[in-house]
A and B are shown apart, each in its own frame.
Chain A
């Protein structure tokens, strides 16, 4: 499997890569919230522009962003269709014997699609430019004030990082099983869509079994290498808020203000 998968860290160097994961997390989180406050063409355009600027600053090829979009294209198409068919208010845009499309339906469909795309851009920006380890360290540090109320911040972050670490493992495992079956004559390529999908079913069961085994192996490995919870643990990676991080948060404030000023 040669494509970069969804949410994979792309280890290059850029302004965005160098930012502290905490400020990136906060920024992206707040941007995701802002998306739901946008309510007209101007505000959506503003957010899209910010997203595109982010893409440019990350120095990651636009192709990779497009590739990660491929994953949600079905979701977008589906909800678009859903709105086109079932939203029935406003004036009629198109009338055919089987289907009537209303203006409100088109509007809703457009809004949902733009929101999905924005969500994906900002989420990819975070995942592409932050290594999973930085990400979980950042989260742990952001969540640590909650420890006062007995929130297990370290364990939560560890769980996150294991989940993230598991994505490539599962990917590799799937690859291995598919290769093993292909090598022994299983056919994933010919026939109609139905047959092709059906060919993948024998992959799923071994994949599940082997993921459980892998999870167990991982727990054993962590134990064997001296992991015993967060107490007394040090970190290779240090987090530090620098001028750029402050700049980022200031940017957010400006965008937010502009957005609230422009929205209806």
Chain B
């Protein structure tokens, strides 16, 4: 049998920002073992401070495991050459756009990554235009990033990574400052990237966004707590509550109904199925 190689592989990963000062039980990430295949669409959920952003930074070699190894493709983040190649494969949209914007105009900022990749100028220009169009920042090319609103900065951060067309894109809470339509656009964008075969990793607090992915991972108390295909998780998503995470609205409705003695037990896989079940309950009686 041919051995199928994973795109991303974390084996026995432990990490802390001050490993010498902290007891091992308090490290920011503990004993993470995980593989992600090429083309997967994965959501990472978890409470504040549980280690999600740390996880993201381990993937592109901004942080290096204190113990264990992170491999992306044929490279390991533990050596310099490996990191050089990995940074070209893994694009990351940071949690706070201010931490990511490098240049003094919107256009130059999107160009920055492309320049680093050594893309010829003729190819760069259409790629910049396309990326700005996708995030809806056409007309802002010459604006200074410092003069943009919170949500506009977040869009710019996304454009800078999109333009580089990386194999893997990590979105670290990239919709937190967007309006509902902007969120919808970014969700569509992730879907599109996924359909094009790119690997999408999305860190989010929103249940609605989580269940758009194929696979949901929960990191809590600095450990990997749960790793399910999303369609299997939906029906038992009450599980998420123990870590203070959002449970999809239909499942919450079902739980509240149960508290009042109304048990709806058919397993459901999405919101529509819950609507159907409620409707049956209302018409049956």
Which positions in A face B, CB cutoff 8 Å?
A: 9, 11, 131-133, 164-165, 168-169, 171-172, 217-218, 220-228, 232-238
Complex CA gap A236/B112 in Å reads: 8
Does A236 lie within 8 Å of B146, measured CB to CB?
Answer: no
Does A224 lie within 8 Å of B92, measured CB to CB?
Answer: yes
Inside 8 A of B112's CB, which chain A residues have their CB?
222, 225, 227
CB-nearest residue of chain A to B170: A224
Knowing A236-B114, A236-B115, say if A217 contacts B107 (CB, 8 Å). Answer: no
Complex CA gap A223/B111 in Å reads: 15
Q: Which of B92, B99, B104, B161 contacts A164 (CB 8 A)?
A: B104
Q: Which of B92, B118, B144, B164 contacts A233 (CB 8 A)?
A: B118
Q: Which of B62, B84, B115, B124 contacts A224 (CB 8 A)?
A: B62
Q: Which of A11, A164, A171, A226 contacts B164 (CB 8 A)?
A: A226
Q: Interface on chain B toward A: helix, strand, loop, or mixed SS?
A: helix
Complex CA gap A169/B99 in Å reads: 11
- For this complex, 11 residue pairs linking A to B, each with C-beta atoms less than 8 Å apart, are A131-B104, A131-B108, A171-B146, A218-B102, A225-B102, A225-B160, A226-B88, A234-B117, A234-B121, A236-B115, A238-B121
Does A168 lie within 8 Å of B144, measured CB to CB?
Answer: yes
Complex CA gap A220/B101 in Å reads: 11
Complex CA gap A168/B105 in Å reads: 11
CB-nearest residue of chain B to A164: B104
CB-nearest residue of chain B to A227: B116
Q: Which of A132, A220, A225 contacts B116 (CB 8 A)?
A: A225
CB-nearest residue of chain A to B110: A236
Complex CA gap A226/B62 in Å reads: 11
CB distance from B99 to the nearest CB of A (A): 4
* Interface membership of chain B positions 128-149, coded 1 if the CB is closer than 8 angstroms to chain A and 0 otherwise: 1000000000000010101000
Inside 8 A of A226's CB, which chain B residues have their CB?
87-88, 113, 116-117, 164
Does A11 lie within 8 Å of B116, measured CB to CB?
Answer: no
> 6 closest A-B pairs (Cβ-Cβ)?
A236-B111, A226-B116, A217-B99, A225-B113, A232-B118, A172-B146
The answer to the question of B60 belonging to the interface, with a C-beta cut-off of 8 Å to chain A, is yes
The answer to the question of B180 belonging to the interface, with a C-beta cut-off of 8 Å to chain A, is no
